[in-house]
Amino acid sequence: MQGDESANKGEQSEAAEREAAKQRLLAQAEAERVPVNDTTRAVPDRRWRRDQR
């Protein structure tokens, strides 16, 4: 039964590492997220050309 316990501990540590990595990715994505208000809206090409004349 000794082998089963070490395998279980290995699986638990892998699961903990995966969870920690997921949390780091989520935190990084949230830090890099751009609020909708800060994004620029595309202007249709025809309207832009009309303003250039």
d(CA 24, CA 40): 28
d(CA 43, CA 51): 11
Answer whether residue 26 shows pLDDT above 70: yes
pTM, 2 dp: 0.50
pLDDT of residue 14: 95
Residue position matching structure tokens 């935190």 = 27
pLDDT of residue 51: 61
The 10s digit of each residue's pLDDT in 30-49 is: 988 877 776 676 766 666 56
Q: What is the DSSP string of the chain?
A: -HHHHHHHHHHHHHHHHHHHHHHHHHHHHHHHPPPGGGSPPPPPHHHHHHHH-
